[in-house]
Amino acid sequence: MFKYTCLNPIARLGLDLMTDAFVETDKYEEANAVLVRSAKMHDMELGEELLAIARAGAGVNNIPVEECAKKGIVVFNTPGANANAVKELVIAGMLLASRDIIGGVNWVDTQEGNENVGAAAEKQKKQYAGEEIYGKKLGVIGLGAIGARVANAASGLGMKVLGYDPYISVDTAWNLSSTVEHIKDINEIFKNCDFITVHVPLTADTKNTIDDKAIELMKDGVVILNFSRDGLVNEDALLKGLENGKIKKYVTDFATPGVIGNEDTIVIPHLGASTKEAEDNCAVMAVNQLVNYIENGNIKNSVNFPNCDLGVCEVAGRVGIFHKNITNMIGQFTAILAEAGINIEKMTNQSKGDFAYTLIDTAATVTDDLKAKIAAVDGVIKVRVVK
C-alpha cells in the first residue's frame, strides 16, 4: 500500500482517481507521494519514503526540484491545466486597470439607503471614466500555455499584440494567432507597449525581468500585469515607477506588503488558478501522473526527469533506475542483468539535462541482491523495483 498526503486542498475529482493501492495520510514524513499547490517545500525534509511530488499547477518554484532530482524523487506539474483560468483573469486585470470599475462599485456601495442613488450615480460617474483596450498595444513576455492564450484572446479583443519568447515551443507557435507580432528583442516590448504582461516561470534567469532599466524604457502611463510570480518584477523599481507616474497601474496576483494599499496597484489574492475547472483539471492530471509513476514506473510531465513510458508491465519484473546522464550506464545495467541470467523483455532510456531514467522490463523479478548491485554502479542515484 502506498501513502499519499495533500499539502494543500486538492479537488475531489482528482483524489477520487487514486487507486486501491493508495491510502491517504496526514503525516508528510511517512508519505510516498505528495500532492501540493503553493505550499513551500524548500525547508521540508525529503525522506527516504518519498517517491514523487505532484504540483497541481504550473509553477514549481515552491519545490526543491534539483534536490529532488539528486535523490531520485520525481517532481511533476500539470502543464496548461489552469492556463485558461489565468488567461481570463489577465483579461479582467486589463479591464480593471483601464476602467475604474473597482472605484465605481465601491462608491455605489456607500450609497445604501439613498433613494436618489440613480440620479447621484449619473452625476458621479465621470469620476470613474476610463479608456478602452481595443487598439492598444499589449506586450506578452513568455508565450507558453498562459501567455499564448492571453495573446490570442487580446488579439481577438482588437489589441495589437507583441509576443516575446526565445524558447517558444513548436506546438505553441502553431497555435498562436498570426496577428501576434513575434518580437526578438525584449526591449521592443518595453519601449512600445501600453500594457505589458509577464508569463514566464520564476528562475534565477527570469528574476527581476522588470527592473529599473526596463521601466525606464517604457512608455509613460504603462500598465504592468504580473500573474506569474512576484519576484519577476523588482519591487523597488516598480514602486519608484508608480510614485513618479511612469507606471499607471500594476495589476498582480501576488500580495506583498510593498504593493498593497497603493492606489495605483490592483492586488488579487493569487486567484489565477482558483476556478472549479482549473482545480479539477490540475487535480486529475496530477493524480493520474502520480498513480502511473508509482504503479508502473512511467513518467509524464516531470520537471526533473524525462518522459518515459513502457505502459503496464505484462512480464515478471520491472525496474526503474535513476542515474546521472553520463556514458556507459545502460551497458553496465544490462551486464548485471545478463550475468544474473535475467532476460530483458523491454527497455527505454531517456535523459533530461544532467539526469536520466532507465526503465527495464525483465523476465524475472529483480532481487534485493541485484538491486544493490545496480545501485552500486557509479552514477546511479536510485533503483526502484516497480514489480
Contact residues: ligand NAD, CB under 6 A? 57-59, 79, 82-83, 86, 141-147, 164-168, 199-202, 205-206, 227-229, 253, 270, 272-273
d(CA 167, CA 322): 27
According to DSSP, residue 366 is labeled P
Looking at the Cβ atoms of 230 and 295, the one nearer to ligand NAD is 230
Does 82 contact ligand 2HG by CB under 6 A? yes
Q: Report the partner that residue 205 touches, choosing among ligand 2HG, ligand NAD, none (CB closer than 5 to 8 A by kind).
A: ligand NAD
Placement of cell 496526514 in the chain: 26
Looking at the Cβ atoms of 63 and 383, the one nearer to ligand 2HG is 63
Considering Cα of 351, then 62, then 269, then 189, what sign does the dihedral take? negative
Q: State the minimum distance, in angstroms, from the CB of residue 169 to ligand NAD.
A: 6
Does 274 contact ligand 2HG by CB under 6 A? yes
42 Cβ neighbours under 8 A, 6+ residues apart: 62, 63, 64
Q: Report the partner that residue 201 touches, choosing among ligand 2HG, ligand NAD, none (CB closer than 5 to 8 A by kind).
A: ligand NAD
- Write out the binding residues for ligand 2HG, residues 12-51 only, by CB under 6 A: 37-38
Q: Report the partner that residue 37 touches, choosing among ligand 2HG, ligand NAD, none (CB closer than 5 to 8 A by kind).
A: ligand 2HG
Residue nearest to ligand NAD (CB): 144
Cell representation of residue 9: 486542498
Q: State the minimum distance, in angstroms, from the CB of residue 6 to ligand NAD.
A: 18
Q: Report the partner that residue 144 touches, choosing among ligand NAD, ligand 2HG, none (CB closer than 5 to 8 A by kind).
A: ligand NAD
Does 273 contact ligand 2HG by CB under 6 A? yes
Total binding residues toward ligand 2HG, as defined by CB under 6 A: 10
For residues 69 and 355, is the Cβ–Cβ distance under 8 A? yes
Measured CA to CA in angstroms, residue 326 lies from 174, 194, 322, 354 at distances of 34, 48, 12, 8
d(CA 236, CA 185): 24
**b/e sequence 209-228, b meaning 16+ C-beta within 10 Å:** bbeeebbeebbeebbbbbbb
Q: State the minimum distance, in angstroms, from the CB of residue 38 to ligand 2HG.
A: 5
122 Cβ neighbours under 8 A, 6+ residues apart: none
Q: Which stretch binds ligand 2HG (CB under 6 A): 14-22, 98-106, 265-273, 310-318?
A: 265-273
d(CA 380, CA 164): 39
Q: Which residues bind ligand 2HG (CB under 6 A)?
A: 37-38, 57-59, 82, 270, 272-274
